[in-house]
Amino acid sequence: MCGGQRVRLGDWIIGDDTGVVVVPAREAQEIANRAIHIHEWENRVREEIKRGGSLNKVLDIKKWEKVL
């Protein structure tokens, strides 16, 4: 047990100065991929703002999104 959560072999324990979370092993890769995607998206937004775009305009831009 960790913080009242059951921890199993292979689970990921992730924490920072605001808290800790237990990520079940079966979901860990998907969660890591989502985190990387969000990090890359935030970096692109920051870059567009540095180039003079407003946050409102930048968030409206769809050029980075994958067409499904």
| pLDDT number for residue 22 | 92
| pLDDT number for residue 23 | 94
Whole-model pTM: value is 0.64
58 backbone dihedrals φ, ψ, rounded to 5°: -65, -40
* Nearest alpha carbon to residue 49 among 39, 61, 31, 38: 61
| pLDDT number for residue 67 | 55
Per-residue pLDDT of the chain (68 residues; tens, 9 = 90+): 877 889 999 999 988 999 889 999 999 999 999 999 999 989 988 998 999 988 878 777 666 566 55
Position of tokens 């775009």?
Answer: 53
Q: Are 48 and 58 in contact (CB under 8 A)?
A: yes
